[in-house]
Amino acid sequence: MRAVQVNEAGGPEVLAVVDVDDPTPGAGEVLVDVAAAGVNYIDTYQRQGIYPMDLPYIAGLEGAGRVAALGEGVTGVAVGDRIAWSETLGSYAERVAVPLDKSVPVPDGVADEHAVGALLQGMTAHFLVTDTFPLRGGETVLVHAAAGGVGLLLTQLATARGARVIATVSTPEKEELARAAGAAEVIRYTEVDDLAAAVRDLTGGNGVDAAYDSVGRTTFDASLASLRRRGMLVLFGAASGPVPPVDPQRLNTAGSVFLTRPKLFDHIATTEELRTRAAAVYGAVADGSLDVRIGHRYPLEQARTAHEDLQGRRTTGKLLLTP
């Protein structure tokens, strides 16, 4: 089978398409024909060595497809069933062995591509608004990169909970997407000198209840300065690079604010939690209340381009590799 392999940490150029043997499903695993694999920022962190990996490895954590074979002891699923997963390394490939307890069933009303687009990023948006900073009606939040894969879903979920979303984007096209997702206000960060001041102007000087920041280094200071007294900065990514060490005294002087750095995998730590959260997201997709935008589809041979586009902030919505 064809797969995208990383032999050394580095830039997108280290992604190489290779021919390897099909994986053999072990006990508790299923072999899956991959219909679509998700491209996520965590893939770039692993590739660069920000998250150290054992080399070589086949990239990708997320995908959807049909079960092709069952490993020893597997019950409750049959060959031909559709499943999706978000934490199985080796997903940039034509076939992957997936632990059944790390997978979720895909409902009939959800297409394979939407199953991928709504899983890792959809569950991330879900835990951010339900667990990390449980949003209530009438609150105001700042969402950076609001036209990205997580950003569009996060904006929709926040708006559905009655929150007012102030979105940041870089282009007029992305502004249109953010507004269509429900953003009440949109700031083109490339056109303002002081982002925090622009946010405060839109909140009567009070600041936002929470700032959801997946960008990191270049937006962190503005996010912190945009918070109301006792507000929360939710740093859940580092698209522009890791944030330097922070003196806790800054949280005091900013108004007794809170800072947290959550990740999805601590919010889907058990099979029950994974499937409950996925079911909530898929239910919203199936009934039309959550729109999943597929930004671009790439063949495996263009995995490098997908990473370049993602890190170059040239994309909107979800990026997929289609074996």
- What is the secondary structure of 231-277 as a DSSP string? EEEEE---TT-PPPP--THHHHHTTS-EEE---GGGSS-SHHHHHHH
My answer on whether omega of the bond before 56 falls inside 30° of 0, hence cis, is yes
3 state SS of 39? strand
83: number of Cβ within 10 Å: 20
Question: Does residue 314 carry a pLDDT above 90?
Answer: no
> Do strands 82-85 and 95-99 pair parallel, antiparallel, or not at all (unpaired)?
unpaired
168, amino acid identity: T
- Of the candidates 116, 190, 207, the one whose C-alpha atom is nearest the C-alpha of residue 153 is 116
Contact between residue 201 and residue 181 where contact means Cβ atoms under 8 Å apart: no
3 state SS of 88? coil
- Separation CA 233–CA 208 (nearest Å): 10
- Of the candidates 194, 203, 223, the one whose C-alpha atom is nearest the C-alpha of residue 211 is 223
What is the percent of the chain where pLDDT is above 90?
A: 95
Q: What is the pLDDT of residues 84-137, one digit of tens each?
A: 999 999 999 999 999 999 999 999 989 999 999 999 999 999 999 999 999 999
Contact between residue 315 and residue 295 where contact means Cβ atoms under 8 Å apart: yes
Contacts of 109 (CB under 8 A, 6+ apart): 285, 286
Question: Does residue 313 carry a pLDDT above 90?
Answer: no
Contact between residue 214 and residue 240 where contact means Cβ atoms under 8 Å apart: no
290: number of Cβ within 10 Å: 23
**pTM recorded for the entire structure:** 0.88
- pLDDT grade for 65, boundaries at 50, 70 and 90: very high
Sign of CA dihedral 139, 130, 263, 166: negative
